[in-house]
Structure 1
Amino acid sequence: MVEGRKLLEPLFSTVSVALRVVVGVVVVGFVLSLFVDGVHFSWVGGDVCVTAEGTSGSSRSADVMFGAREGVDVSSTPRYCASDPSSSQRALDALRTLPSFTLMIGGLFLLNRLLKGAIRDGVYAPRTASRLRVLGWSLLLGSLAVEVTQAIAQSALLATLADSDMASVGDMWQIPFFSIFTALGLLTFARIVRAGVVMREEIEATI
């Protein structure tokens, strides 16, 4: 077990500490937002703001205001804020931010579980390969679901703040290339670990 932990350092210690810190910050921030004025946690209190991605404009006054040089135009993207948002606007605002945060917490939890299991069962173990595969699929499907959900929520929220259709879901949505390639890498390593398990079992059977 000690050798397995050394093999997985410094990732194991970093993930373990990060998970505890993030959970602690979430709990403390949520409690403070309920009892301390001026402290806001995500959708609890505060203004609801959204930027109209994909929409921009420019004017001479903006050029002067931001000190643009001769022949340089300053473009701006409108940002809409509701100082007294409705419950539906707060719900949309939560859907616009919470999914990515939830994915991060879930990913840290699964990664921490994977590393603990690898220390206990060994790196080349069937359970380790299975947990690695679960982490890969969770990241792949979760990142896509998060992007779509947040884009729809942001577009719907913007529709409640602006009279006209300022941006579509396509303007809000971006393909999470880094998460996709990372997930594919995890799935590939899961197959490598599984192949290593089979090879070890065959070697042990011949001895």
Structure 2
Amino acid sequence: MATLRNPLEPMSTAVKGAVALIAAVVLVTLLAAPFVNVTVLGIGGDSVCATDQATTVGAGKNPFPDDIRPAPGAAVTLDAHPRYCTDDPSALQGLLSAAHVVGPLVYFLGALVLAVRLIQGAERQGLYTVQTAGRLRVLGWWMLGGSVFAAVTSSVTETSIAASLSGDGGILAASGLWMWDVPFTAIFAGLGLLTFARIMRIGAGMREDLAGTV
């Protein structure tokens, strides 16, 4: 008789591997903290940088156009978009730099926690149960809404940093609200999870009805 493969693979192995990797990185960081300069979420670093995604530098322009000037104590690098940096960030710039990292990090860790919860619940109670369908639904909504929130937060914080480092005042911090990159992959993945959650809930209900009639 053929061995039944785990229906939760390869997701189960991938999630467990990600948890183990994160735990190892945290452990190494804690062990290395007393001996080296460790930057946590952008706080404690020597510099803060941000790219002005709203401004495009065309080919053949003067290396330092009149409408792109850094603030005192900051520097600007021109590529497809101007990138502003400072080696002496203020407390607000440091907090914005940390927030730029925290949004996507919270989204990723939240998705990982919900995935672990989903897998553990499915291993205990089975796949086609109302509880598993509910956990899958929560994960789907998290991926759908959390990815958008993380993208908007990252865009607004980066634009705010660029505005604080620009010397001409031409960058609007609020422009990050409409300049963010839409996370299409995460959105469609979330919609897919919500669809499968609905299918699993219907299947669980039919299974309960069948068990009640036997």
Scaled by the length of structure 1, the TM-score of the pair is 0.83
Matched, 1:93 2:100: no
Matched, 1:59 2:60: yes
Q: Which runs of 4+ in 1 moved over 4 A?
A: none
1:28 paired residue number: 28
1:178 paired residue number: 185
Matches of 1:129 and 1:206, distance apart in 2: 23
Name the structure with the higher helix share: 1
One-letter amino acid of the structure 2 residue matched with residue 162 of structure 1: S
Matched, 1:169 2:188: no
1:7 paired residue number: 7
Q: Structure 1 residue 10: deviation in Å?
A: 2.4
1:153 paired residue number: 157
Q: Deviations over 1:73-92 (max 9, x none)?
A: x9632111110111110100
One-letter amino acid of the structure 1 residue matched with residue 89 of structure 2: P
1:44 paired residue number: 43
Matches of 2:177 and 2:44, distance apart in 1: 29
- Shift of the 141–170 alpha-carbon distance from structure 1 to 2, 3 Å rule, reads closer
Matches of 1:9 and 1:169, distance apart in 2: 39
Instruction: Judge conservation of contact 2:103–2:150 (CA < 8 Å) in 1.
Output: yes
Q: Structure 1 residue 26: deviation in Å?
A: 3.6
2:17 paired residue number: 17
Is the partner of 2:181 in helix, strand or coil?
coil
Identity %: 38
Matched, 1:191 2:195: no
- Shift of the 14–75 alpha-carbon distance from structure 1 to 2, 3 Å rule, reads closer
1:65 paired residue number: none
Q: Structure 1 residue 19: deviation in Å?
A: 1.4
Q: Structure 1 residue 38: deviation in Å?
A: 4.5
Instruction: Judge conservation of contact 1:43–1:90 (CA < 8 Å) in 2.
Output: yes
Matched, 1:81 2:82: no
Q: Deviations over 1:38-87 (max 9, x none)?
A: 4433313221101111312233677xxxxxxxxxxx96321111101111
> Which deviates the most, 9-18 or 86-95?
9-18
How many aligned positions are there? 193
2:131 paired residue number: 127
Matches of 2:104 and 2:31, distance apart in 1: 21
Is the partner of 2:194 in helix, strand or coil?
helix
One-letter amino acid of the structure 2 residue matched with residue 10 of structure 1: P
- Shift of the 151–204 alpha-carbon distance from structure 1 to 2, 3 Å rule, reads same
2:75 paired residue number: none
Is the partner of 2:6 in helix, strand or coil?
helix
Matches of 2:89 and 2:177, distance apart in 1: 25
Q: Structure 1 residue 4: deviation in Å?
A: 8.8
Instruction: Judge conservation of contact 1:5–1:12 (CA < 8 Å) in 2.
Output: no
Q: Deviations over 1:6-31 (max 9, x none)?
A: 12122212211211212431453366
In the alignment, structure 1 segments of 5+ residues that lack a partner are: 63-73
In the alignment, structure 2 segments of 5+ residues that lack a partner are: 64-77
- Shift of the 16–5 alpha-carbon distance from structure 1 to 2, 3 Å rule, reads farther
Is the partner of 1:81 in helix, strand or coil?
strand
Matches of 2:31 and 2:148, distance apart in 1: 31
